[in-house]
Chains A and B, each alone.
Chain A
Amino acid sequence: MTPGWRKLVLSVHLTSSLGWIGAVIAYVALGIAAMANRDPATVRGAWMAMELVGWIVIVPLALAALVTGLVISLGTAWGLFRHYWVLISLALTLLATLILILHMPSVSATAALARVADSSQLGQLGGDLGHAVGGLVVLLVVTVLNVYKPQGLTPYGWRKQQEARTRTADGHSMTREGLLSR
């Protein structure tokens, strides 16, 4: 990947990843409003907003973060399976995206119910905070991993590193022998 493409994909990746976190925080705020408020209009509005934010903002950002993360990993020397922090970030992002997509139809169903429910039924809807807060924690862990990049090669990464060193050492020794023979 050329430096120009790498910076472009990295920019999209950072924007979508951090945007995902911001959107989930907004979703949590709406969930708290839906759970803590007794005003039917507020609860209805909160659930309708949660559905919109979920499908129109969070899901696209999650997919963008996942795809750009894959592109950056595969298109640079970091690789996808060489470093534990990359591998764990991928696994957590994949898990969060999967749970999000599987969970959103339930949010839509609840939002549809909120549109027609009466006051007492609205009070039973809750705020879907478990999934949102859990997802937020997972995303923060991924962010910390991406910022700190803790050391640690996977067995595959270690083998690849050893092969590269062997090649480099062989190349150096061949060059030295070539120079000495002149």
Chain B
Amino acid sequence: MTESPLSANAAEGADSTAARGSAAAAYPGTPRWVKLGAIIAVVVILLVVLIMVIAGGEHGPMRHIPSASGTAPHVAVALLASRSS
């Protein structure tokens, strides 16, 4: 953010110099890099959701820990004991 936005605006408006005189210049539309980024973001989000669904819908480091009703209740008991102390 060190450059002046005025220079960016000037460069942006360079191709619409002819239309500068008219107040009703049309919006040039969403830039291509924004559209491409949006597509990539959607693909990444879908992949993450897919991986989460395949992995059982849970994520985070605690997903590796069996629940208190699962195979390792002593782990949960130990965790509770450490929290209460």
Contacts and interface: CB of A to CB of B under 8 A. Distances in A.
A175 interface: no
B4 A77 contact: yes
A83 B37 contact: no
Given A130-B59, A149-B3, A88 B79 contact: no
A84 B1 contact: no
Nearest to A155: B27
B34 A88 contact: yes
Size range of the chain B interface in the assembly: 35 or more
A159 to B, nearest CB: 8
A151 B37 CA distance: 14
Contacts, number: 94
Which label, helix, strand, loop or mixed, suits the secondary structure of the A interface? helix
A112 B82 contact: yes
A107 B78 CA distance: 16
B78 A117 contact: yes
Interface in A64-92: 72-73, 76-79, 82-84, 88
B61 A128 contact: yes
Contact of A146 (B1, B5, B81): B1
A73 B1 CA distance: 8
Given A84-B31, A112-B82, A117-B75, A153 B62 contact: no
Contacts of B83: 112
A152 B30 contact: yes
Contact of A152 (B25, B34, B79, B81): B34
Top 5 A-B pairs, shortest CB-CB distance: A152-B31, A110-B61, A128-B61, A116-B78, A106-B60
17 contacts: A79-B5, A112-B82, A112-B83, A113-B65, A113-B75, A125-B61, A126-B61, A134-B48, A149-B1, A151-B11, A152-B12, A152-B31, A152-B34, A153-B28, A158-B27, A165-B20, A166-B23
